[in-house]
Each structure stands twice: as structure tokens, then as C-alpha cells.
Amino acid sequence: MAPPNSALVTTEKTNNDFTLLQVHDSESQMFAEEKQKAASPKQYRWFLLLKLQKVLTFLSWLTTGFKSTFASVKKRISLSDTSDEDPKYRGRLYRIIKVFLGLSIGALVIETIAHFNKWNLSNMMIQPFEVQGLLQWSYMAWLSFREDYVAPFVLLVSKFCIVLFLIQSLDRLVLCLGCFWIKFKKLKPTIEADAYDVEDPSSFPMVLVQIPMCNEREVYAQSIGAASQLDWPKDRILIQVLDDSDDKSLQNLIKDEVCSWKEKGVNIIYRHRLIRTGYKAGNLKSAMSCDYVKDYEFVAIFDADFQPNPDFLKLTVPHFKGKPDVGLVQARWSYVNKDENLLTRLQNINLCFHFEVEQQVNGYFLNFFGFNGTAGVWRIKALEESGGWLERTTVEDMDIAVRAHLNGWKFIYLNDVRVLCELPEAYEAYKKQQHRWHSGPMQLFRLCLPAIITSKISTWKKANMIFLFFLLRKLVLPFYSFTLFCVILPFTMFIPESELPLWVICYVPIVMSFLNILPSPKSIPFLVPYLLFENTMSVTKFNAMVSGLFQLGSAYEWVVTKKTGRSSESDLLALAERESKSSNEDKIIRWNSESGLELLGKLKEAEMPQKKKKRNKLYRKELALAFLLLTASARSLLSEHGLHFYFLLFQGLSFLVMGLDLIGEQVS
């Protein structure tokens, strides 16, 4: 043992003839060891304190988040307006959902008791003398009844819905392949070279432009302005502003706007009906009955929020030249507010697929598709020979398209010609729009089925119209979406014998959603929200489909979709410059875009009357389904289903967000 304050020197000879000297100071070594022992507990305590601080910070953030969320939800519920959610919107479907919710909650309570008591009766045989208590006997009896009677029925219905799901998915895949073929071959409609002599205005056909509107205070000026600037010989065009507004002050504003453009040399007239029947169809029918319409060959239709480019007519009307069997040329929609909020982003995905894939494929390969009601040009002869505008449904555009197709007229779709319009920014407006869009086709199907069967078109065209156009895309899609994913799937959590496979609830829907997003590749990050959103909207579409099919009261309602009057920056600046030239007010010039937009916004706000603030709604069907799905997800958690649990959880939360009206424009 070395004495204190001494150093131990050792030598070691290596293979390279070098000698290594190591000095071992016992006192310094002991000091280092004692320092390390003293520092370790201190560092460990600091480490624990830092970890504890992070945990407390996270818990504080989580608590604050939950508190603010529950506070906002509580405030939303207390301030929400349910006046529009009357029985005609809820009806029997809401009562049925409530019954299912009650059954699922009761089943969850029983399953929870069975889980904690470890009554794994489905995997082992229990003798009667082993049953302990009435509750266990009741649970055992339920398992036997479920296996013998309930599971086979649920399994049968789920298989039927899965078959419909696969057929509809196959249809969507075929449409995508058709679109890919069009893109790959660069196929598009063509026109004759020099269809009209630019130097001879008399060679241009007579075109009637119609702008039907009803209480469109926010958008009337921009739609009239856009139509008045269409590049077409002034003596070969007439613009009809078809105003169905019931507000006298608004009528005067629209009249003044029409007069201002008339003073600038635009051939434009204002029409107002005294008897406002038939909604948009009645408005268009009344306008077509004017004597001067017989002088015109084509009619272009624009809804009040649509803003065609000046060259719209020169890009569409020439497609009629040399094609006497073409009755309609349809342009594509483009949106000024597609990035405004999550709701508009998800709508953009749906509509991009509709125009890029459905309309383009059907237009090129079948020469038939549903008229979109606006941004299209009709041959007036085709309208007249097909019976004109009828007021029998809320989808007058689809009605005239079906009748024209049955009379042998062909349609052309132009994917490259786009017209600016506006998407609904509030969930209430979007919900009502979708109700009309999905109830109307079922009304029309009932009315048109005999005419389709007895028409002189080919058997293939009849089959396409009945089975693909109406049944598969208008009836089957909302039926299986709601039944399979919102009813059967949560029920299978309580009936394991009929559990849906993963490819039905996960893999195939994700693939189909990915195909839907392909026409708008910038929306790929919204793949999962889009899938959840579509399933959530299925309750509205299913309810609308049933009401239209069975002619229920809500099928005949027409609610004008709410507009905000948004425009692109270039449109706003152009309007600002026109106004600045006609008055000596503040100049708004093109290079000063930010101040120009701000000033124009203030001028518009000053002209707009102050309206009473609206409140957000509560949607009870969505809320009931949210709790149904969340109850099923809790049952799935007990069984450790994995993906089933996550799907039900997030789908339930999606319904909850919709039911509380927490998506889209917030108005309260």
C-alpha cells in the first residue's frame, strides 16, 4: 500500500521500444472519485427537475387546451341556433339514429362489465352450473342470440354494401383510367380553323347571355360586370339580367348597375318577374318566352357568382360550327376562394375530380354528362326541341340535359376553359346545397325512367343513364357510404362475428380517396381529412337521396347558396379602376394593389346594409352519429381492434366537429 502524498510510477515497454510512464497519484485519484460521487446525485436531481418541469409544462398546456376547447364547445352549444333544424330536416332518420345510439350505449355498459369480470364466454364453453348471477346468465344468453340471429343478418347486409362499394370503386377506377388515357393521348375537342371572320362581325352568330339571380346582393355587380365585358360584337349579343329578388332596395341597385353598363354601350336589359314560381327553372323559362329570343341561336348561362373571362364566347361558341347535332358546350369551374378554409379546400377536391375526371371522360367517350347549370352555352333549338325549362324538380339543369340526350343531342366538355366562381364557405350553406344536389336527381329519376326506357337511343346509352348516371353515382354512393361506414361498422364492434375486414375500412377507401385527390395534387396532405369529411357528409346525402326518391317534403326546397362576393385581386383592381374613371373619388391604381383592395373593401362595406349577426347551428344528426361512433370506438378499445378503433375515433370526432359547426366560416 502506497503511503499518503506519494505517487506511484509504473513503466511499460511496448513492442515499438517506447516506454510508457503512468503516474498514479492516490490523493488526486481519491479526490476525483469523491467529486464524481458528489456530482452524480446533484446532476441526477437537476435532470429529474428538468424532466418534471417539461412534464408539468406539457400537462399545463394540455389542461389549458382542454379547458379552452370545452369552454368554446359550451359557448357554441349555448349560443347555437337550432331554429332551422326542425323535424323536416331530421325526420325519421334522426329518431332511428337515436335508437341505435341508445342500444350502443347499453351494449357498451354490458360489454365493459363483462370485460372487467373477464367473462370471455365467446371462447370457452360455460356449463349452466358455472354461471354466477343473473347478469352473467343474461350476457351468456345475449352471446348465443347474437351468434345465431343477429350476426348472420348484419353479415348479410354488410356483404351487400361491400359489393356495392366495390362496384362503385371499380367505376371510379375506370373513370380515372379514361382520364389518364385522355391526358396520355392529349385528346381534346377541336374546332374548325377560322370558324368566324374577325373582320366581319355579321359572321358571328347571335348569342343571348342570361344571368339568373335571386337576392344576390354580394355578387350581382361583379357578375353583371364580367358578362358586360364579353368579347363579342355588340350588335350580336344581348345580356338578360333575370332578377328574382324580393328586396326592393336590391332591385333598385341591380337596375342602377344595368343602367350604368347600358350607358356605356352594352346591350343589356333588366327583367323582374311579378309571379316568382319555379325557382331558377321558372326564371329561365320566363326569359325564354320573350319574342326577341327567336332572333338568337345560342344562349350562355351564368349564375350570379360566376365571372367569365372576356374570351369565353370565342372559346365555346365555335365548337358548334359544323356540328349541327351538338346541343351543349360546358366549361369548367374555377374557384376564387378554394384556399379560404378547410371546408373550401375539401370541396375543391371533390369538384376537381368531378370536372377533371367525370365530366371530361363522359364528355369525350359518351358525348353526355349532366349540365352544371351555369358556365355553359346551349343551342336554343336543342332547348326548344327537348321541351324547354321545366319546374318539376330542383335540378332543372340535369333535367334538361337528360331530355336533350334522349332527343339525340350531343354535349361537348371543355376542360381548358374555366370560369371563376365561389365555393360555399359556411357548413350550413354547403349542407343545404348538397341536400338539393342529391335529392333532385332522385326526383328526376322517378320522372324520367319511363321516358328513358321508351326512348329511341341505343340500349347501351339507356343502360349507362339508368345504371351508371343515376343508380350507381346518385343512389348507391350515398347509400353504402352512410350504411356501411356510419351504421354497420359501429355495430360490428358489438357483434364480432360480422366484423368488417381491414381492406374495407382502410385500404380501399384510402386508394379511392387518393384517386379523388390526384386531379388536385396540392391537396394530397388533406387525404385523411377528405376521407373523414366524405363519410361525414354521407348522412346529409343519404337523407337527401331518400327524401328525393320517396318525394318527401324537404326534396322540393330550394335555398339560394350564400355568397360572400369574393373576387380575385385582378378582378377587384379592374373594377376599382372602372369606378375611379367614372368619378373623381379616391384613385385606385394597379401598382398600389394592397391599398386599392383595402379601399375597395371599405367602399363595399359602406354600401352594404348592416345585417343582424347570424349564429352557428347545431346539427343533431351529426352529433348523434358522433356519439354512436365514439361509443363503438370505446368498445373497439376493449377488444384491442387496432385500426378499427382509430377509424371510429377519428370519424366520430369528425362528426362532432360537423355537428358543432366548427368547420368553415364561423359566423357567431
Q: What is the set of active-site residues?
A: 244, 397
> CA 433, CA 347: separation in Å to the nearest integer?
12
Query: How is 509-565 classified by DSSP, letter by letter?
Result: HHHHHHHHHTTSGGGGGGHHHHHHHHHHHHHHHHHHHHHHHTT-GGGG---PPP---
Q: How many angstroms separate the Cα of 425 from the Cα of each of 337, 346, 663?
A: 8, 11, 9
Chain Cα centroid distance, residue 513 = 12
On the 0-12 / 13-18 / 19+ scale of CB atoms within 10 A, 199 is exposed
> CA 301, CA 98: separation in Å to the nearest integer?
44
> Which residues fall within 8 angstroms of residue 626, CB to CB, at 6 or more apart?
652, 653, 654, 655, 656, 658, 659
Neighbours of 22 (CB within 10 A): 9
Check residue 419 and report its DSSP letter: E
> CA 528, CA 643: separation in Å to the nearest integer?
14
> CA 395, CA 573: separation in Å to the nearest integer?
35
- Number of residues in the chain: 668
Full strand arrangement of the beta sheet holding 376-379: 268-272, 237-243, 207-213, 298-301, 376-379, 326-335, 410-421
Residue pair 414/319 in contact (Cβ under 8 Å)? The answer is yes
Residue 152 grid cell: 348472420
Residue pair 290/273 in contact (Cβ under 8 Å)? The answer is no
Q: How many angstroms separate the Cα of 281 from the Cα of each of 39, 380, 437, 496, 576?
A: 86, 15, 15, 51, 34
Q: Pick from 567, 607, 572, 603: which is nearest to 590 by CA? A: 572
Residue pair 141/515 in contact (Cβ under 8 Å)? The answer is no
661 φψ region: left (φ > 0), alpha (ψ -120 to 50), beta (else) = left
> CA 619, CA 83: separation in Å to the nearest integer?
11
> CA 82, CA 186: separation in Å to the nearest integer?
51
Residue environment code for 174-191, b if the CB has 16+ CB neighbours within 10 A, otherwise e = ebbebbeebeeeeeeeeb
Is residue 304 classed as helix, strand or coil in its secondary structure?
A: coil
**Three-state DSSP string of 354-394:** HHHHHHHHHHHHHCCCCCCCCCEEEEHHHHHHCCCCCCCCC
Handedness of CA 20, 26, 32, 36 (dihedral sign): positive
Widest Cα–Cα separation across the chain: 126
Residue 54 grid cell: 417539461
